[in-house]
Amino acid sequence: MPLSATPAEPRATVSTPLSGPLSGPLSGPAPTRGRSASYAGAALDLLADRPLVVLTGAGLSTDSGIPDYRGPDAPPRRPMTYQEFVAGPEAQQRYWARSHLGWGRMRRADPNEGHHALAAIAPELLITQNVDGLHERVGTPRLVALHGRIADVVCLACRRTSARAALHEQLASLNPDWHERHPSVRVRPDGDVDLEDTAGFVVPSCSCGGVLKPDVVFFGENVPKDRVERCYAAVDALRDGDGALLVVGSSLTVMSGLRFVRRAAALEVPVVVVNRGETRGDPLATYAVESGCTPFLTALAARRGA
């Protein structure tokens, strides 16, 4: 399903007050109504002993200094789509010129306590929408990087993948003064930056002559099917294992993540959503917890004895 399929859909708003006794699926309490910091304790109770699948988003990496472009302080912005990127060399020049600045900063980001807590919890599967590679850095087992990793590069012609670090060195030598000319641009969670004037930036090709693209899923591009199937299988297994789905730091704006919440809800698997701000998963959540990611995850790791 294309990433671009859903952003126009309005966010769900939940204003119905909690009323009446809770009754619902055998595997957990029925969904509460609304989002509240006060649900944190009940959510930790719910997640204390169960098998978990965890879905993480940009909010998890804000404590590592990588801004969440959907967060409350983020400026409006429309990412480059896959269709725009492949349209021609000008778009590719614009992408790489901006991304080159963002990468120089993103690669200096370090995992935070939330990443460490999740590695210690070691869920049945950790699905991340983040492309920053920080879950990988702390050795998280059973990980699916749903949208790929910004540290990888793929050739659109021969499909060979290579390390972004090598391309970065090449870009740096082809464009020696680029950073000095743009010292204070804002960095996005996908490594992009705010920059309009990108003329003159030199972009190398693959050794086969093909176009190089970061090996991440762009808006308008599909998540590879095998990744999606692995995630669905893990969510499906939660039903028989009396498990739960935990979503941390994602507003679930794009369908690529929301679909797993929908699947869990359809299977009556309890869902906990932890985020600063409303998410599209809130109406499906047993608990929608208004909280930062790091404090909740460190509390959960302690609770599980991880």
Give dist(CA 234, CA 116) in Å, integer.
22
- CA 139, 299, 187, 209 dihedral sign is positive
CB-nearer residue toward Zn ion: 104 or 210: 210
Residue from 296, 279, 243, 272 nearest 50 by CA = 243
CA distance 232 to 7: 22
Q: How far is the CB of 210 from Zn ion (least distance, A)?
A: 4
From 28, 49, 110, 59, select the one nearest 300 (Cα to Cα): 49
Give the residue with the Cβ less far from Zn ion, 210 or 241. Answer: 210
Distance CA 260, CA 157 (A): 32
Shortest distance, position 208 Cβ to Zn ion, whole Å:
3
List contacts with Zn ion (CB under 5 A). 155, 157-158, 206, 208, 210
Closest separation in Å from C-beta 201 to Zn ion: 20
Which structure tokens are listed for 128? 């991340």
Q: Least distance to Zn ion from the beta carbon of 174, Å?
A: 18
Give the nearer residue to Zn ion in terms of CB position, either 79 or 210: 210
Taking residue 97's Cβ as centre, other Cβ atoms within 10 Å add up to 22
Provide, rounded to whole angstroms, the least separation between the CB of residue 89 and Zn ion: 16
Structure tokens that stand for 70 in this block: 């959907």
Count of Cβ atoms closer than 10 Å to residue 240 Cβ: 11
Residues composing the chain? 306
Active site residues: 147
Task: Read off the DSSP letter of residue 248.
Answer: E
* Sequence letter at residue 67: P
Tokens at residue 113, please? 């306590």
Nearer to Zn ion, 210 or 277 (CB): 210
Q: Which residues make beta-bridge pairs with 290?
A: 275
Cβ proximity to Zn ion, 22 vs 157, nearer residue: 157
Whose tokens are 């009754």? That residue is 23
For residue 284, the minimal CB distance to Zn ion (Å) is 42
Q: Between 86 and 122, name the residue whose CB sits nearer to Zn ion.
A: 86
